Every structure is written in C-alpha cells, then in structure tokens.
Amino acid sequence: MNKTTDIDYGPLSELIGIWSGDKGIDIAPEADGEENNPYYETITFAAIGDVRNAETQLLAALHYRQIVQRKSNDKIFHDETGYWMWDAKESTIMHSLTIPRGVSLLAGGTYAESNDIDGKKVLLVSASMDDKNWNIVQSPFMQNSAKTKSFTHQITVGKGELSYKETMEIDIYGKQFTHTDSNDLLRQ
Ligand code: HEM
C-alpha cells in the first residue's frame, strides 16, 4: 500500500477532511411507531492510500468515522466507521460500513460525471440482501429481530458542502420500517 498525496481518489477526493453539521434528521423504528431525532455530527474522512488486489485491481481508499449526537441531550447515539474506495478503471465506488449493532455491509455504485449537480459530485451506492455483489452481514439476533434488508446512500459533495441521505429498509416489530437519516455539513 502506498501512502502518497498524489494518489487519484477520483470523486472521493472531495470528501477528504473534517465535516460538521447540525441539520440532521433521523427517523428510526420504535415498537409503537417511530422516533424522530434531530441531530448534529462530525464526519472525518482520511486519505489512507491505495491497495492492489490480485496484482490487478487498484483501489484508492479513504477511512471515515462518523459520530452522531442527539440535539435533545448531546448523547452520542450513532457511531459508524468504514471505508470509501474508488476503482478508477471501472468507475466504481465502494462503501463499507460497520455499526456496533452487529451490522456491516459493502455497498457499491457506478460514478458518472454526468450526474454531478452544480459542480458537486454525486456519490450513490447501495446494498441489499438480494444483491450478489453488494450485500449486508448481520448477527443472528439482528437477522431475526431487526433485519436490514437494503441500504442506499447518496452524498452530494463539493464547494465545501456535503449533503447526504441514507435509507435502510428494516424488518422489525413484525413490519417493514423505512429508517432514514439526512444532514447538511460544512467543511471545517
Ligand atoms: C446517521 C445515521 C444513523 C442514526 C442517527 C441512526 C439512529 C438510530 C436510532 C435512534 C435507532 C433506534 C434505536 C432504538 O430504538 O433503540 C436506530 C435503529 C436501527 N438502525 Fe440506525 N441510525 C443510523 C444509521 C443506520 C445505518 C447506516 C444502519 C444500517 C445499515 C442502521 C441500522 C439500524 C437498525 C437495524 C436499527 C434497528 C434496531 C432497533 O431499533 O432496535 N442505522 N438507528
């Protein structure tokens, strides 16, 4: 693995840095309905270099850490980490994430410059239980009681601004729940 600053991180290069935002809206499942949690957060993306797989595929990777706090009591209620990877040859973005509920996933998507909005990069990835390439791994408890069936995540980033929306379809409390999170952040 090389760790140099002249690596081509492609559209991911816009992410590198420390971001914070206080416009977060979380819609999460509850036994008798849903909870709506306004939040603020800090996300740190660090360029960590490139990786070669099977002497062929070249990935440029960022590591990130996302710390999310409820506005109502300042407590951290979501802590997430993982990697964003860029495969320039295939114009493919990969996003791996782990949350301490016993859930991990690898989402993927194709990047096309033609989808950029107002000079900002649009990064769109998804994973699903039914997808043979981009899939979700979860503990036996979560498979039985709070199964994440699919995940989509769209980030729009550029000009010092980052906005995202993510959607998780979850089987919980005997029904399907659409768990969503979104926020607008500024580069620090
Ligand atoms: C900003 C990001 C996120 C926030 C703020 C957030 C917040 C929450 C909250 C408040 C709950 C309800 C917990 C409870 O009732 O005790 C929840 C449940 C859940 N979340 Fe998230 N979440 C986020 C992202 C994710 C992601 C990325 C995944 C999976 C890919 C995920 C999967 C789940 C699952 C499976 C549950 C059901 C567990 C339960 O309610 O008992 N969440 N989340």
CA angle 158, 6, 64 (to 5 degrees): 55
Whether 154 is in a domain gets the answer: yes
Q: Please give the number of the atom of ligand 1 that sits closest to the Cα of 153.
A: 27
Is the pLDDT at 2 greater than 70? The verdict is no
Length of the chain: 188
The answer as to whether 124 is a domain residue is: yes
Ligand 1 center to residue 174 CA distance, Å? 17
Q: Does the beta carbon of 77 lie inside 6 Å of ligand 1?
A: yes
pLDDT for position 19: 98
Ligand 1 centroid to residue 57 C-alpha, Å:
33
Q: What is the pLDDT of residue 4?
A: 58
Percentage of the chain surpassing pLDDT 90? 97
Q: What is the pLDDT of residue 5?
A: 66
Distance of CA 107 to the CA centre of its chain: 8
How many domains would you assign to the chain? Answer: 1
What's the confidence (pLDDT) of residue 22?
A: 98
- With the most atoms of ligand 1 within 8 angstroms of its CB, the residue from 75, 97, 101 to mutate is 101
* CATH number for the domain harbouring residue 181: 2.40.128.20
**pLDDT given at position 3:** 56
Strands 161-172 and 146-158, by their bridges, are antiparallel
Mean pLDDT of the chain: 96
Q: What residues make up the domain containing 131? A: 10-187
3 part of a folded domain: no
Q: Closest Cα partner for 110 from 143, 77, 134?
A: 134
pLDDT digits (tens, 9 = 90+) for 58-97: 999 999 999 999 999 999 999 999 999 999 999 999 999 9
> Could you tell me if residue 171 is inside a domain?
yes
Ligand 1 atom closest to residue 24's alpha carbon, by position in its atom list? 1
Taking the CA of residue 30 as reference, the ligand 1 atom at the shortest distance is: 15
Contact indicator for 109, 122 with CB cutoff of 8 Å: no
**Residue 2 in domain:** no
Q: Is 164 in the pocket of ligand 1 (CB under 6 A)?
A: no
Q: Is 121 within 8 Å of 156 (Cβ atoms)?
A: yes
Percentage of the chain beyond pLDDT 70 is 97
Rounded CA-CA distance 159/27 in Å is 28
Return d(Cα 155, Cα 115) in angstroms, integer: 12
* Predicted confidence (pLDDT) per residue in 153-175, tens digit: 999 999 999 999 999 999 999 99
Task: Give residues with Cβ within 8 angstroms of 87, minimum separation 6.
Answer: 57, 58, 59, 93, 94
6: confidence class by pLDDT, cuts 50, 70, 90: confident
- Per the listing, tokens 């033609």 go with 114
pLDDT at 1 over 80: no
